[in-house]
Amino acid sequence: MHPAFSVIFLTTLIGVGQGLFLALYSGQIYSMMKLLPAQDSQSFYAMGSLLALGFLVVGLFASFFHLGRPMRAWRSSSQWRTSWLSREVIILPTTMLLIAFYGVIHYFSWTQPLFMLVETQPVDLSLIIGTLAMLSTFILFICTSMIYASVRFLQEWHNPLTVINYILLGTASGFTLAAVFSAIMGADVVGFYVLWAIILTIAAFITRAFSLLRNQSLTPKSNLQSAIGMRHTVIEQKSQGAMGGSFNTREFFHHKSLTQLKAIKNTFLLLVFPIPILLLLAAASGLAPLYLVIAAFVIQYLGLIAERWYFFTEGRHPQNIYYQSVA
């Protein structure tokens, strides 16, 4: 497939925003359980929510660049019963609204206990809204990834690893950004976010490696004979039947060489996984942690752009059996 950069930025940016919110809410839960020191609501959770919301807004803005008629974008939500894209269109602003409300609660310190859980743990409004936002965040991950995982004729996408990879890569980048944010804010939870960023990055590497190995061993279900409905054993394509390119040759094939594809794959494997892990480990040792975690996030995000581009090019559309050759 031929990837649109607007879709690449949409999926990677909202993934970072979702992951950052999950990191913030996880930190609040750990603090509630007395496993982490408590953080100031206004300067940490409110500002962190604003940062997560910013990534979601920029990602949503990027999505308009691959729409033919942006003014009719609202119509894309009408098929929510059958379309994962429609469900994403609905759940994305819902998630943004819940995260914004979560930040507002912390900013105005509306954190008075509403009731007691198991007679020992006070529950306030931020925990309730945070739980709803967390569920909405995971639903958004599922909706975004299922847009591609539900396409049955693209074998490279149609498997559970697509959903798992979207979740793990998004949360890994979000926890890395949380380490950056906590270091800038001077919060004493940098080590917590660094540790989970490393764990999630390793988990993402394992599942992404499995998907790469799986896709390399796939056998196409269609061939040139089935594409044109002929059973002859010797068929050779000379032309697509036109003098130049067409929508089919432009939008369903990336036109990159095997050498270029291999270079992109090696690039994202290096930038997304080992380099950020090494930088985070160095940061955890206390060696210039702020600069190292910033470098880890920037490098990992650049790698995610390459990873998402490669993900789309992995999808080998069956129509390319017939339309890939121009002349």
| 78's tokens | 């009408």
Residue 115 has pLDDT above 60, yes or no: yes
Query: What percent of the chain shows pLDDT beyond 70?
Result: 93
> In the chain, how many domains are there?
1
pLDDT of residue 68: 64
Query: Rounded mean pLDDT of 135-151?
Result: 96
Closest by alpha carbon to 310, among 201, 218, 217, 211? 211
Q: In which region does residue 119 sit, left (phi positive, over 0), alpha (psi from -120 to 50) or beta (all else)?
A: left
Q: With a cut of 90, say whether residue 208 has pLDDT above it.
A: yes
Looking at residue 320, its pLDDT comes to 76
The CATH number assigned to the domain holding 215 equals 1.20.1630.10
Please tell me the distance from the alpha carbon of residue 138 to that of residue 146, in angstroms, as a whole number: 12
Contacts for 221-226: CB closer than 8 Å, 24+ residues apart: 221/153, 221/155, 221/318, 222/318, 222/321, 223/321, 224/321, 224/322
Average pLDDT of span 25-34? 92
Q: What is the mean pLDDT of the chain?
A: 89
Domain that holds residue 123: 5-230+237-323
Q: How far apart are CA 145 and CA 161, in angstroms?
A: 10
The DSSP secondary-structure symbol of 44 reads I
How far apart CA 40 and CA 52 sit, in angstroms, is: 17
pLDDT score of 296: 97
Is-contact 255 326, C-beta < 8 A? no
Alpha-carbon span 93 to 89, nearest angstrom = 7
* Residue 62 CB neighbour total at 10 angstroms: 20
Distance separating alpha carbons of residues 217 and 83, to the nearest angstrom: 29
- Express as a percent the part of the chain with pLDDT over 90: 60
The rounded distance, in Å, linking the Cα atoms of 315 and 84 is 18
Distance CA 303, CA 289 (A): 21
Residue carrying structure tokens 């067409």: 246
**196 phi and psi, to 5 degrees?**
-70, -30
